[in-house]
Structures are given as structure tokens and as C-alpha cells.
Structure 1
């Protein structure tokens, strides 16, 4: 018996127990090794690197026979590989599995994790694959919650949240602020740009301004690819933790996604991510979050799409055109023309536009405050003027 190794392993187990609160019960994490664009050897290399960097990981490979020295469940096809993966997850023989492709049900999407270039800070991107909802604002509100759950399961007690300035951002902000006012404990971050705010710009992504960035899944997927493979020219993902675990209400399979272009460093980090969410019990964290949200009737806060009947639409006459050098930001792009029409109804000439922070309403310079009051009273999230 190698006494030094026994002692070292014992200390590692203690350290892991302090981190996860599960002394002696470290859950196994699996990695499927068939299907990579870089070949099975890259997956095995990533698993070996993970074990070297994070010795506390208990790794199981599901794929072909190999000489890694790691426990391996041999399979002969991808179909068999996924079948074994699901059986091991459902039987709790493994706590989580990292794989390269998986079909999640509607309502479940994955939370990616990257390392930002400005300060080397880790940041969660919510979300990166899957579909949280067919309705955009609802999907992004859910994404915010999914991001918080994944961050908490990775050891961040109170993650800060920001919303990327994409279509629907202002509507999502409004819902999340209402949730906070109703008692949901969500911590907002602040943009590092001079005008601040909860809505983030591209600069904030590079800086890692917040712990969790909320966006739509397609944008999140693109961001993952940019963060992970920018330095390699796009063919080999070298940075970050992969596209992350699938999260959704009632969903209990801890499946984490990699790209087929992921390289060994990303694979290693993805296994660490899997270890954290499994041993910190992301399922229980999710249950607790959804229990609080359902008690607050959070889905009732989501704005319902309004069906317009063209034949019955009110025709609002345009006021006399005047110079509009004042600007009001904070209006969601989906509501921009409605905001302009409302000001026209009030006899104020206005135009829609696009500024550095996104959609803006252009109004007479001397009537900015008056216009803001009209828009806020009508339920639009009108903010300050646009600042680049």
C-alpha cells in the first residue's frame, strides 16, 4: 500500500467535503467519448487532464476501451452510449454526465460558463442550448432563474445578474424587478458603462461585470463559441467550462453539454462544473428556487403577447414634425412603435431610433421629462437619454 497516496487522497476527500458538504459521498461524474470532431482521444485527454487538475473528481468514461486508467463503461455506438448514460443518471450511479449532444424537453436549457478576457473572471451565460419557452420574454426570465440556480450550485451564494441588451431585455428587466419587489431574492449587477443600469453592453461581457448574463439561447450559444474559441480561430474550443447543465422546473437529469469542437481544457473544466453541480445538489437548489417563485406566482408577471386586429386598429394622426434631439432609452424594441404612437396621441411629435444602448424614442429636447412621465404611467420602462 502506498501510504503517502492514501493520506493524500484522504486530505483531498476532506477538502472536497468542506466544499460540497458531502463528506465521503463524492458523486461520480461521467463523460461520453463518442462523437467529437477532434476524435475520441481528445475526450480521453480532457478526462485525464481533469483528474490531474482536480484530483477529487471521480470520473467515469462511457465509450470505447482506452488506456487512460479511468473507470470505463465500454459501448459500441452513440445510441448505446446515450442509453447507458441515461440509465446511470436515473439510477443515481453517476451524479452528472458531460456529453456532446442531447435533446432536452421544452422548458429546459443549459447554463454555460466562460472565463472573461479582461480580468479572467468566470461568468455564467444563461442560456446556451435548449429552449426555455417559445415566448421570448418568458424564456429570458426563466433563463435568469436558471443562471442563478447554476451559479449557486457552483458555489456562488448570491450571484449578481445582468441582462444583455438584446430584443426583449427591457421587458425582462421589468419582470425581474417586479419579482424582486414581491420578495424574490435576486441580486442585480450594474453595467460598467457611465450610464450604469441592469442592462449590459458588449463591454460588460468582456469585463465580466456580473456573475450571470441573461440572454436568449441563440445569442448565448454564439457567445459561448466566441469566448471559448476566439484565440484558436474557431476550430478548437480552448477556454471555459462548456455549455453547462440543463436546468428547468421538474427536470432532474444532470446532463452537461460540450460542443463537438471542444478541446481538452474545456472538457476538463466541464467535468469540474459537473462535479460541482452534482455534489452541491443542483436539483434541490432548483426545487427551492421554483418553490419560492411559484409562491410569488411569477409566471403571472410575464407580459402576454397582444394580438392586433388590423381592421380595428386606431389610426393616430402624426403631430406636426419638429426637431427631436432629446432621447429616451429603456423602451423594449418590441414596444418601441407603441411608445411613439402613445406620444402622438398626447400631441407630442416623436420618432423611433436606435442608440448605443439600443432602442430609443426621439422627442423634443424640452419635453423629455414630460414624455418620460407619460411613458412610465402607461407601463413602459422609460429610462434616461442614450449615452454611447
Structure 2
């Protein structure tokens, strides 16, 4: 054997060792497909991101209308053709995951974003950012929590902490998730870094990264991901983070991650890394296990229970009892439920008034009636039965 042949063999061995260190699996890198058509910053933006991602352990293929040196390219003539080719390659298992600028996910599937929080530099998952988990907001947020847990676990966080952003539906989501936890589904609730404790997060917690998974509705999540990715650029160029993330939903078996037409090369590179992490973490397997665990803990019954009315009958007229001094505050009630919660207390001969505190909606009752009022509101699921575990 010649010296040249020996050197070639040694070089090949070292390349394979390098691949092993990067990919964690001998000789294999995650195969990630990226569509370049439609980018507001041009296809070269995607090529640049792909080249950098390849240097860091990915194996990318770009679907584009032109070629670039050093990048595997599939040529197409239009954006519509690009998406058809993308689906074919995913279906044929030619690639492990795809990163694209939009995708018509079915109802029940939504995307989990991944950001870098500016307060601490900590990564946080935003559940969710595009798509529709459910046509009912609270049901959607409950599902979003599970989607976020799946994604965080696939990215290597064994026991992710979960917080719920203080938007409409947060308190009802907290009640439902607490019930799911009591019935056996493992949820590791976070605690706000503000003076208030509990899993319902303030806006400050978004900046501080107070939890691994921040649950919210997808419209709010879409707004958040745009702000966090482009607040340093004025909005026209998304430069920070990992994008809008993978579409997660029960029965959805393709790993498709979303970026924006405004996403710049650094964020696209982050999205490719995100996809690679999910492939290495076996996201589809984790999703199947988590959905099964949640169902075994009664998820279906909890979601069905949301549709059953827990409010006072509209036809029933409830009169306020005799007015008393009200100085005791009860928080943790949805703003949409305030009127019904007050009427429940009136019906039980407790005078109550609604108001707005610094952390959100409150009900005011007499100090002597506070404990009884809390029990009634808990029994009717207007507030959580106990503080969330941290």
C-alpha cells in the first residue's frame, strides 16, 4: 500500500471521528432540507446559513432556483414546486427534517418556537407560535403545554419547567394542567421570578427566562417570536434565535420547522440547528410517548369537560345579597369569568364585587367571608384548587 493510500485512509478515519463527535452517532449527520424560495433577503441568505450549519454538524440540502458552491441543491422554478419537492423528499425519507417559510398545518398542529431571552441569555421555548392547536383557546393552550414539553425534551431538557403567560385563558389552563398532573401526567411547573409565586408568568418572566417552556396562544406566541428575533434590527431582519419551530400534534409524523420570509442567515442557521437537535433527540418518539402519557392521565376527559358549562344559567336571575364592606382580594380568575364568579358567590349569599389588581382580575369580599368564598370558587373551578407546584 502506498503512502498516499495510507494517508487517504487516515484522513477518512479522522473525518468519521469528527462526524461522530458532532452527530453523536457514528458517521451520520441529521439531513435537513431548507427551502430558499420566497426569502425577502434572497436565496443567498439561505445558502450562507446552510454552509455555516454544515460546518457545525448538519447535512443540508437547499431547494432553490439557482445553485451555490458547497451546498447540495435541488433546482425548482417556483415556490409552489419547492413545497411539492419538499413533501416528496420527506415522504420518501430522503431527509430527516425540513425548514421552510410557511406550511399549511392541519388543525391540532402548531409550532413550538425557541428564543434567546435578553435578560439572562437563557433559551426558552414558546408554545406555540403558528398553527392552531384547537379552535377553543383554553383547550389550545393546554395542548400547547404538552407540545412545548415534547419539544424541550427532544432538545435534551429531561424535566423542563413550564410557565403559563398571563393572557386570557391562563388561569383556566393552569387549573386543567394541575388536574392533569394530579391524575398522573408529569408536569414540572415553574415559578414566576416576580414577587408573586406560581406558574402564571408576568411579562418580565419572558425577558428573564423564568421557565423552559412558556405556554400561550399561538397568536400571542407569533407576536413574541417576531419581537424576540428582530428587536435589535428594527423588525425587517430576524437575526436572533431559532425561528418558529416544529409543527407538533398528535398523529402528525413529519418534522417541519417554520421560519419567516424576514428571517436572516443567523436565524436560519439556528433553525437548522433546531431541526438537527430534534432529529438527534428523536422528537417523533418522544411525542408519541407524551401524548400517550397525557391520555392515560385523563387528557381527553379534561378537554371534554371544558365544553360543559360551569357557569350560572343565563335564564336564572341572581340578585346581590346585602352589601358589606369588601377588603379581601381573591385573584387568579379569568377576566371573562369575573361576572359569573361574582354571581356564584351572590347565589351562596356572599356579597362580592369584581375589580382589577396589579396582577389581573380580582374579586373583593368581606374578610370574614374570604375563606368560604375561596372554597366556593375552587369548587366551581373559577380558581385553582391549590397553588401550583414549583
State the TM-score, normalized to the length of structure 2: 0.92
1:1-388 mapped onto 2 (5 Å cutoff): 6=12, 9-18=15-24, 22-52=25-55, 54=56, 56-302=57-303, 303-306=305-308, 313-381=315-383
Partners in 2 of 1:99 and 1:112 — Cα distance? Answer: 14
Q: Please report how far the alpha carbon of residue 305 of structure 1 lies from its aligned counterpart in structure 2 after TM superposition.
A: 3.2
Partners in 2 of 1:4 and 1:324 — Cα distance? Answer: 82
Q: Please report how far the alpha carbon of residue 358 of structure 1 lies from its aligned counterpart in structure 2 after TM superposition.
A: 1.8
Over residues 169-196 of structure 1, what are the superposed CA-to-partner deviations in whole Å (9 max), with x where a residue is unaligned? 1111111111111111121111111121
Partners in 1 of 2:289 and 2:274 — Cα distance? Answer: 20
Over residues 266-309 of structure 1, what are the superposed CA-to-partner deviations in whole Å (9 max), with x where a residue is unaligned? 00000000111122221111111112222233121123335699
CA distance 1:27–1:17, shift in 2 (3 Å): closer
Partners in 1 of 2:253 and 2:369 — Cα distance? Answer: 53
Partners in 1 of 2:18 and 2:191 — Cα distance? Answer: 37
Q: Please report how far the alpha carbon of residue 361 of structure 1 lies from its aligned counterpart in structure 2 after TM superposition.
A: 1.1
State the TM-score, normalized to the length of structure 1: 0.92
Q: Please report how far the alpha carbon of residue 235 of structure 1 lies from its aligned counterpart in structure 2 after TM superposition.
A: 0.9
Over residues 12-70 of structure 1, what are the superposed CA-to-partner deviations in whole Å (9 max), with x where a residue is unaligned? 3222343xxx4333331011000011121212222223234x1x111111112232411
Partners in 1 of 2:53 and 2:209 — Cα distance? Answer: 24
Q: Please report how far the alpha carbon of residue 314 of structure 1 lies from its aligned counterpart in structure 2 after TM superposition.
A: 1.0
Is the 2:242–2:274 contact (alpha carbons within 8 Å) kept by the matching residues of 1? yes
Instruction: Give the alignment's Cα RMSD to 1 decimal.
Output: 2.3
Q: Please report how far the alpha carbon of residue 368 of structure 1 lies from its aligned counterpart in structure 2 after TM superposition.
A: 2.4
3-state SS of the aligned residue for 1:196?
coil
Q: Please report how far the alpha carbon of residue 364 of structure 1 lies from its aligned counterpart in structure 2 after TM superposition.
A: 2.5
CA distance 1:207–1:32, shift in 2 (3 Å): same
Partners in 1 of 2:381 and 2:255 — Cα distance? Answer: 39
Partners in 2 of 1:205 and 1:106 — Cα distance? Answer: 27
Q: Please report how far the alpha carbon of residue 327 of structure 1 lies from its aligned counterpart in structure 2 after TM superposition.
A: 1.1
CA distance 1:3–1:229, shift in 2 (3 Å): farther
Is the 2:125–2:152 contact (alpha carbons within 8 Å) kept by the matching residues of 1? yes
CA distance 1:30–1:323, shift in 2 (3 Å): same
Instruction: Point out the more displaced range, 364-373 or 23-32.
Output: 364-373
Partners in 2 of 1:314 and 1:8 — Cα distance? Answer: 78
Q: Please report how far the alpha carbon of residue 156 of structure 1 lies from its aligned counterpart in structure 2 after TM superposition.
A: 1.1
Instruction: Point out the more displaced range, 122-131 or 284-293.
Output: 284-293
> Where does the alignment leave 5 or more consecutive residues of structure 1 unmatched?
none
Partners in 2 of 1:326 and 1:238 — Cα distance? Answer: 47
Partners in 1 of 2:168 and 2:314 — Cα distance? Answer: 27
Instruction: Point out the more displaced range, 236-245 or 368-377.
Output: 368-377
Is the 1:330–1:360 contact (alpha carbons within 8 Å) kept by the matching residues of 2? yes
CA distance 1:364–1:284, shift in 2 (3 Å): same
Over residues 225-284 of structure 1, what are the superposed CA-to-partner deviations in whole Å (9 max), with x where a residue is unaligned? 111111111111111100000000010111100011111110000000011112222111
Instruction: Point out the more displaced range, 300-309 or 189-198.
Output: 300-309
Q: Please report how far the alpha carbon of residue 377 of structure 1 lies from its aligned counterpart in structure 2 after TM superposition.
A: 2.8
Over residues 55-99 of structure 1, what are the superposed CA-to-partner deviations in whole Å (9 max), with x where a residue is unaligned? x11111111223241111111111110011001111111000100
Partners in 1 of 2:230 and 2:364 — Cα distance? Answer: 39
Partners in 1 of 2:112 and 2:234 — Cα distance? Answer: 23
Is the 1:143–1:215 contact (alpha carbons within 8 Å) kept by the matching residues of 2? yes
